[in-house]
Amino acid sequence: MNILIMGPAGSGKGTMSKFIKDEYMVAHISTGDMLRENVKNETSLGLIAKGYMESGKLVPDELINEMVKERIQQDDCKNGYLMDGFPRTLVQAEAFEEMTNIINKKVDVVIDLKVNIDDLASRITGRRVCKNCGSIYHIVTSPSKVEGVCDVCGSSLVQRKDDTIEQLQVRLAEHKKNTEPVLEYYRKKGLVKEIDASKPTEEVWAQIKQAIETVS
């Protein structure tokens, strides 16, 4: 099963991605993590990307596309992949379709997480993250046992600098500008399953399972 998951900041992509990965035994691929891993391991693509990053330039689509193509052909993708954060633009979507057709890894379903702005604002401003292990909490809906301390490793919890209303507005505008055309591209192919992600976690997960299993 080859899956794309999309949604604005605070829509629950991280939580739902973990559920999908565990349930369907697919590789969860975050393009941000993939890029950092290539740079860290000094792969040939990573070294080229590092040059762009160090000069303050965006890494070109062509380079990201090549990393993605390599990544989805690795052994852990034999049962499929869950792509998180890619494609971000229509150009990337078209390139992704071309490459997946060639290597027989076409997208089966696109999960589109829908959340209204008020719920997003509440989720974003209340989110806390462990600076050591990356565990995510919320001060209201899923607080840590000890305030400000991670249940998993005992490290301090922090609020990300971009977890503010102001940054949310910026990210939503970016999402609408770039991601909506991508979703429309996949809608025309009948691949998009819209999920009401403002519901409790269990209900959102039930919707996603049903959506995936209608195409599996």
Question: How many whole angstroms separate alpha carbon 67 and alpha carbon 183?
Answer: 22
Residue type, 46: G
Token pair of 72 as six digits: 């989805």
- Catalytic residue selected from 160, 177, 187, 189: 160
Write down the catalytic residue from 21, 50, 69, 88: 88
**Alpha carbon 166 to chain centroid, angstroms:** 21
Q: Is position 127 annotated as part of the catalytic site?
A: yes
Whether 71 is catalytic is no
Based on DSSP, count helices (H) and strands (E) in the chain, helices before strands.
9, 8
| Distance of alpha carbon 126 from alpha carbon 105, whole angstroms | 38
Look at residue 128 and give its three-state secondary structure: strand
What are the Cα distances from residue 156, in Å, to 107, 126, 133, 160?
39, 15, 10, 12
Q: Which of 71, 123, 127, 193 is catalytic?
A: 127
Identify whether 88 is a catalytic site residue: yes
Q: Which residues are catalytic?
A: 13, 88, 127, 160, 171
